[in-house]
Each structure stands twice: as C-alpha cells, then as structure tokens.
Amino acid sequence: MPARGLKGKNFISLADFSRDELLFVLERARWMKRDFKAGRLESALGGKCVALIFMKPSTRTRVSFEAGVFYLGGHPLVLGGSEMQVQRGESWADTGRVLGRYVDGIVIRTFAQCDVFDLAEAASKPVINGLTDEEHPCQIVSDLLTIQEKKGTLRGVKLCYVGDGNNVANSLLLGCALAGVDIRYACPAGHEPDPVILAKALELAEGTQVKGFADAAEAVAGADVIYTDVWTSMGQDEDGAKMEEFGAFQVNFGLVSKAAADAIVMHCLPAHRGEEIAADVMDGPRSAVWDQAENRLFGQMAIMALTF
Ligand code: CP
Ligand code: NVA
C-alpha cells in the first residue's frame, strides 16, 4: 500500500517515487484541502515537532510549511542558516545525527542536494527537500494539484516550461513524467535542465512526452499549461548579459497566443515582471499563479502527513 510505504520515507527527489506514490500524495492533498476548507482537518502531526531549516530566503515554502505543521497539530521549529552551527563548519551529518534525536521530521532548503542526503542519512527521521540548487519537489506536487484542479485531469495534459532549466524545471520534468503530463521545454542554449535528471524523466515517462525545443514559440504550440521561473535563481550571480540571451524566452502575450485557447500560465514565484514573464500575463486572466501558491499549503501538508 502506498500510504504505509511512504511513512518514514524521505521526500528529497521525485526520482525516488513511483507514479502510484505521487498520485497517492496528490489524492491526500485534495482531501486535506477539502477538509481544511470545511474546518475539519485531522491532527496528523499531533504531538510532533518539525525542524524547518532555511539556508536560503523563502516566503511561500517557509510560511506554508510552518502554518501547515501548526494546522496539523504539530510544532514547527524554524531555523535560519545563521542560527546554526553549520555556519561555523559543523557537518550536515553531525547536524542530522543530533536533530534526529529531537524532532520527528526535518524540512530543509539549501544549496547542494548532497548536503540534504548527508543530513537525511544521519538523521533517523524523514527529511523533506524544501528546494536545493538541483530540485524543488514540493513545488511540483502543488503544481500538479493545481493542474488537476484547473484541467480536471493530469494524463495527457500538455505543459510547456519556458526559461531557465533550473531546479524547478528539473523537478517538473520528473513530476510530469511520473504523472503522465506531456512536458516540453524551451531553454536558451547552455541553460537546459540537468542531463541526468532529464535521462531519469525519460526513463520514468512510459509513453508520456518529454521533449526539448530550441524555439519557445514552437514549444508552446497547443500547450494547455505554460510554466516559467526566474532567469537567475538563488545562489547564482546576477548577469546582465542574460537579459539578451533569455529575451526570446519571455512568457508574454505573443507567446501565450500560440498555446491552447484555454491555456493557463504558471510560475512558482517570486516573479520578475518584465523579465521571464510580462506583467499583463502574470496579472491577466490566464494566470494561475495565486491558486498555485495557495496549493503549496495542501501539497506539503499531505507530504508531511504521509512521511512523518
Ligand atoms: N516558490 C517558492 O518556493 O517560493 P519561496 O522561495 O518564497 O519559498
Ligand atoms: N528557481 C528559483 C525558485 C525559487 C522558488 C530559485 O531557486 O531561486
């Protein structure tokens, strides 16, 4: 049974999950949203303590996890990077060994994904990846929930990712391949998604399309969902030259007009209007970004309830 199988499991990469497990998480997220709105949410984390470690800034992830732990009856402990001894050289493994003795689960946002694996291996408690340079799996659970709500299904939906082939793009490749969402991507040369993750997505796809394009207009033709993210992710240096390099990959009215007539536009946020997304698209009728942000709460409550 997927439910029993997820208890105690880390949620670090979608590559570690089966299609059934991912669909099970999404189903739980849908129930939790329904129950939350009806004011009858179960106390799935009653009496549990959850450490939330943030080595990079966050608005959505931090607040939705902290609020989510509270709504599920648990106690969140938010730890900023500067408050922890890792800043002074303590290893992630030693940090994990200790935290595992105090808390029931750990959420971490940091730079290298190998640090998350070190933490998880040493802690005897489940660890959730709240974003690394490589992946952002919690974001994609909430995004798939949003697509399901807006399109009524996942299988056969056509999503096109336009922009930087970053952590969000990597996790989208894995999540869409698993969920049966056809995924196309258009990224400037040299900024494509991680080739190892792409290979894994192709392996998981089982008939679902996973395909890269050099031209954004060609990639979005007929898409049901257009997705974009910032051109410069946290931890990367700002590079003025990127504006020119990425110019043809802006999600603007012209690009959206090539997609299906009822296509929605998604962005994990924070957004830079006028860079990866035009303001009139971000704030226009096709934009699903606020519902997408709201769903972070339900996707993550489901992940915590099933793994912690
Ligand atoms: N989308 C997302 O993870 O947002 P934050 O960086 O604000 O957490
Ligand atoms: N790719 C972005 C996502 C932010 C939620 C970053 O890593 O900064």
Q: How many CB atoms lie within 10 A of CB 239?
A: 11
Nearest to 222 by CA among 144, 160, 286, 284: 160
pLDDT averaged over every residue in the chain: 97
Distance 66 CA to ligand 1 centre (A): 13
pLDDT tens, 178-234? 999 999 999 999 999 999 999 999 999 999 999 999 999 999 999 999 999 999 999
Ligand 1 atom closest to the CA of 61, numbered from 1: 8
Mean pLDDT of 227-244: 91
Is any atom of ligand 2 closer than 6 Å to the C-beta of 168? yes
Distance 129 CA to ligand 2 centre (A): 13
- Lookup result for tokens 């199988």: 5
Residue 280: phi and psi, rounded to 5, are -70, -20
- Two tokens, residue 306: 């099933």
Instruction: Report the predicted TM-score, pTM, of the whole model to 2 decimal places.
Output: 0.97
Q: Is the domain of 237 the same as that of 252?
A: yes
Q: Is the domain of 107 the same as that of 40?
A: yes
Q: Is the domain of 221 the same as that of 210?
A: yes
Which ligand places an atom closest to the C-alpha of 66?
1
Which residues are known to be catalytic? Answer: 109, 136, 139, 229, 268, 296
The pLDDT, as a whole number, for residue 1 is 45
Q: How many domains does the chain have?
A: 2
Which ligand places an atom closest to the C-alpha of 228?
2
pLDDT tens, 96-134? 999 999 999 999 999 999 999 999 999 999 999 999 999
Is any atom of ligand 2 closer than 6 Å to the C-beta of 229? yes
Contacts for 246 with CB less than 8 Å, ≥ 6 apart: 163, 164, 188, 191, 231, 275, 276
Mean pLDDT of 28-54: 98
Q: Is the domain of 282 the same as that of 300?
A: no
At CA 161, angle to CA 155 and CA 165, rounded to 5? 125
User: Per-residue pLDDT for 20 more than 50?
Assistant: yes
- Lookup result for tokens 């704030």: 283
- Two tokens, residue 43: 């106390």
- Two tokens, residue 285: 């009728």
Distance 163 CA to ligand 2 centre (A): 12
| Residue 183 domain boundaries | 139-293
What's the CATH code of the domain at 34?
3.40.50.1370
Ligand 1 atom closest to the CA of 63, numbered from 1: 8
Nearest to 161 by CA among 185, 194, 134: 185
